[in-house]
């Protein structure tokens, strides 16, 4: 497909990955409708930080993904839907699971039904590696057992199955893209890399973390954005689930030392302080994630291009200029 002049709806466009996706779509000549979360402050999230010339090219639609009426209006007339709107914080899902069901499951159902009614040509639904739970083998391919260990992961798994059911039942051209841990500029403070960077930059004595032995597979945000677009471009991906990651795993402890190096701190000067409130419940902790990207490489030729060290460097440079966006002195759930 050609992106130029295609009309694309991005749900969750005000968020971390969504705002980067909107920027790239504009660069490719798309007509972008950005679905943002309606609020009394008229905030468009991270879209507000885009250059004014870019904002003028975007059709911003303020709504609530949980409301089928607004979703239907947003979907009308678009060729492609990139569905990223979701509640994503795992700790928050422990005490507010209803909101995750309403947003992640019902919200996805609204998108799917509207896409079907309006004859959308492609729907890319965003999943998460968290649906796999702790790795039973590595690297983890799409045949890995599904074992969600948090309410967040359970709602995302349910949404995945809903999306695939619309492909099987109604021939809706859906693809489920399953990114592993994405990071980069604009990521919310609840994620581990902004958590480490903000404390590292402002606190010279120690940083407060939870489980530092868990292993994660991190992808820079531009790679994840390109995965969305590569999947949308390929008809071979319709009806498929596709992982997107780097294929490299690292412990949170070693990640902290990499970031310390960027902050020009010696390894010995970094003191990590364990905080119980930052720990997941024992049976809910995902100990290890590492992505097998063979399927997405085969079907659409995508592979990650930005290694962890380079991605952290770019993120830290952005963070130094935007550190006021983060509250390092509180635990963001």
Place of tokens 């590292």: 200
Strands (E), the chain: 7-11, 31-37, 58-63, 80-83, 122-126, 174-179, 181-183, 207-209, 215-216, 218-220, 241-244, 250-251, 272-274
pTM, entire model: 0.96
Q: Are strands 272-274 and 218-220 parallel, antiparallel or unpaired?
A: unpaired
pLDDT 10s per residue in the chain (333 long)?
A: 789 989 999 999 999 999 999 999 999 999 999 999 999 999 999 999 999 999 999 999 999 999 999 999 999 999 999 999 999 999 999 999 999 999 999 999 999 999 999 999 999 999 999 999 999 999 999 999 999 999 999 999 999 999 999 999 999 999 999 999 999 999 998 899 999 999 988 765 689 999 999 999 999 999 999 999 999 999 999 999 999 999 999 999 999 999 999 888 877 778 899 899 999 999 999 999 999 999 999 999 999 999 999 999 999 999 999 988 888 778 888
pLDDT on residue 323: 84
Rounded to whole angstroms, how far apart are CA atoms 216 and 288? 6
Integer Cα distance of 211 and 251 in angstroms: 10
For 245, the token pair is: 């990651």
Q: Distance between CA 85 and CA 83 in Å, rounded?
A: 6
Query: What is the pLDDT at residue 270?
Result: 82
3-state secondary structure of 141: coil
* C-alpha to C-alpha distances, 34 to 30, 49, 127, 219, 282, nearest whole angstrom: 12, 14, 19, 24, 38
Q: What is the pLDDT of residue 73?
A: 98
pLDDT (0 to 100) of residue 201: 80
Residue 69 phi/psi, 5-degree rounding, is -70, -50
Closest CA to 296 of 306, 308, 304: 304
Return the closest-CA partner of residue 127 out of 155, 150, 100: 155
Please, are residues 193 and 262 in contact by the beta-carbon 8 Å criterion?
no
Rounded to 5 degrees, φ, ψ at 167 are: -70, -45
Please tell me the predicted confidence (pLDDT) of residue 204: 59
Q: Does domain 7-184+221-247+291-306 fall into CATH 3.40.50.720? A: yes
Q: How far apart are CA 253 and CA 68, in angstroms?
A: 43
**Distance of alpha carbon 272 from alpha carbon 71, whole angstroms:** 44
| Domain-wise residue ranges, the chain | 7-184+221-247+291-306
Question: How far from each other are the two terminal CA atoms of the chain, in whole angstroms?
Answer: 39
Q: From the CB of residue 321, how many other CB atoms can be counted at a distance below 10 Å?
A: 9
């Amino acid at each position: 497909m050609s992106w130029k002049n295609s009309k694309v709806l991005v749900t969750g466009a005000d968020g971390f990955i969504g705002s980067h996706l909107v920027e790239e779509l504009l660069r490719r000549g798309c007509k972008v409708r950005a679905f943002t979360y309606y609020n009394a402050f008229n905030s468009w999230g991270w879209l507000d930080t885009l250059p004014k010339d870019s904002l003028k090219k975007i059709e911003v639609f303020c709504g609530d993904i949980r409301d089928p009426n607004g979703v239907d209006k947003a979907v009308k007339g678009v060729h492609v839907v990139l569905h990223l709107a979701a509640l994503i914080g795992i700790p928050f899902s422990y005490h507010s699971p209803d909101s995750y069901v309403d947003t992640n499951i019902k919200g996805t159902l609204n998108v799917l039904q509207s896409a079907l009614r309006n004859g959308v040509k492609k729907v890319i639904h965003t999943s998460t590696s968290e649906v796999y739970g702790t790795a039973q083998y590595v690297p983890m391919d799409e045949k890995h057992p599904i074992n969600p260990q948090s309410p967040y992961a359970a709602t995302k798994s349910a949404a995945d199955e809903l999306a695939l059911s619309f492909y099987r039942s109604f021939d809706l051209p859906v693809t489920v893209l399953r990114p592993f841990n994405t990071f980069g500029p604009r990521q919310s403070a609840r994620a581990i890399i902004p958590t480490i960077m903000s404390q590292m930059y402002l606190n010279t004595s120690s940083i407060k973390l939870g489980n530092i032995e868990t292993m994660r597979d991190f992808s820079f945000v531009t790679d994840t954005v390109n995965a969305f677009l590569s999947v949308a471009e390929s008809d071979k991906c319709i009806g498929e689930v596709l992982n997107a990651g780097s294929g490299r795993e690292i412990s949170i402890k070693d990640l902290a030392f990499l970031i310390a190096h960027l902050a020009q701190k010696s390894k010995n000067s970094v003191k990590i302080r364990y905080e119980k409130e930052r720990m997941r419940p024992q049976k809910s902790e995902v100990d290890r994630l590492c992505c097998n990207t063979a399927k997405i490489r085969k079907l659409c030729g995508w592979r990650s291009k930005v290694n962890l060290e380079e991605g952290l460097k770019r993120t830290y440079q952005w963070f130094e200029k935007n550190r006021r966006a983060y509250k390092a002195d509180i635990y963001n759930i």
